[in-house]
Amino acid sequence: MINEQIVEQFKQNLAQVNQRISAAADRSGRTADDVQLVAVSKYVDAAMTDLLIQAGAVVLGENRPQALDEKFQTINQPGVQWHLIGQLQRNKVKKVVPQAALIHSVDSIRLINAIDKSATDQGLVAEVLLEANVSGEAAKHGFPPEEVAAALDHANSLSSIKVTGLMCMAGLASDSDDVRSEFARLRELRDQLGSAELVHLSMGMSGDFETAIEEGATLVRVGATLFEGVT
Ligand SMILES: *Cc1c(COP(=O)(O)O)cnc(C)c1O
């Protein structure tokens, strides 16, 4: 496929996903403006990611700090935001802090401390989400739900990290009813925390983003569906 065809296919895929977002937002009594698509570009290289941006993607999600760094350095498109959606090790924090507009996947007190320290050193405030393990699966990352309040209190005591919401991944073994209740659980957890600053719920991927929106998602992380017909 030549680049123009790829961009055309990406445009169609983005339009379809945006339509589905809009319909699901309607069903939750909201509008498409209340839900941000994070286009997960982790499956492709920088050149292909650039075409996805040309097709209209403005918020890009990467799950590996190294790939985020590479794309951040090579793709110089004004107005594009990069989000880190995958696991972050403390030795990678320094680079990620100035590159990521939002880190979705903060899952330990040690990581909170490392991000705050690095942001302080660089004169920045890092915006993050706390990941909660609402499925309870051992292989999943994230704070156990009952530990999120303490993690939030701790982060709020620091000056260079700002928590603006919660994130989750549905369990691998979950059927669609389980997935819906996991998303509902994240929303309830956010509501129980009672903080007006927690505006974001990052939940939902290609297979379940509509369910996530129906349950209150404000950020959906969609990868595979955007690459249909291209890769
Ligand atoms: C890959 C990934 C996604 C996107 O998943 P798709 O099924 O490709 O839409 C979302 N969130 C995280 C954390 C991921 O690693």
Kindly tell me if the per-residue pLDDT of 219 is higher than 90.
yes
Mean pLDDT, rounded, for 89-118: 98
Tell me the pLDDT band of 17, cut-offs 50, 70 and 90.
Answer: very high
Atom of ligand 1 nearest to the CA of 42: 1
Q: How far apart are CA 132 and CA 183, in angstroms?
A: 11
- Encoded tokens for 172: 């691998």
Any idea what the Cα angle at residue 184 is, between residues 179 and 186, rounded to 5°? 100
pLDDT at 22 (0 to 100):
98
Query: Mean pLDDT over all residues of the chain?
Result: 96
Q: Which CATH class is domain 3-227?
A: alpha beta
- Global pTM reads 0.97
Cα(126) to centroid of ligand 1, in Å? Answer: 22
Q: How far apart are CA 2 and CA 96, in angstroms?
A: 33
pLDDT at 94 (0 to 100):
98
**Ligand 1 pocket member 129 (CB < 6 A):** no
Q: What is the widest separation between alpha-carbon atoms in the chain?
A: 52
Beta-strand relationship, 102-106 and 126-131:
parallel
Classify each residue of 208-229 as buried b or exposed e, where b means 16 or more C-beta atoms within 10 Å of its C-beta.
bbbbbbbbbbbbbbbbebbbee
Q: How far apart are CA 22 and CA 14, in angstroms?
A: 12
Cα(123) to centroid of ligand 1, in Å? Answer: 31
Using one digit for the tens of pLDDT, what is the confidence trace for 118-153? Answer: 999 999 999 999 999 999 998 889 999 999 999 999
Tell me the pLDDT band of 110, cut-offs 50, 70 and 90.
Answer: very high
Atom of ligand 1 nearest to the CA of 206: 9
Phi, psi of 201 (to 5 degrees): -125, 110
DSSP helix/strand/coil, 153? helix
Any idea what the Cα angle at residue 164 is, between residues 159 and 169, rounded to 5°? 125
Of 13, 16, 21, 40, the one to substitute when testing ligand 1's pocket (max ligand atoms within 8 A of C-beta) is 40
Kindly tell me if the per-residue pLDDT of 27 is higher than 90.
yes
Q: How far apart are CA 73 and CA 148, in angstroms?
A: 34
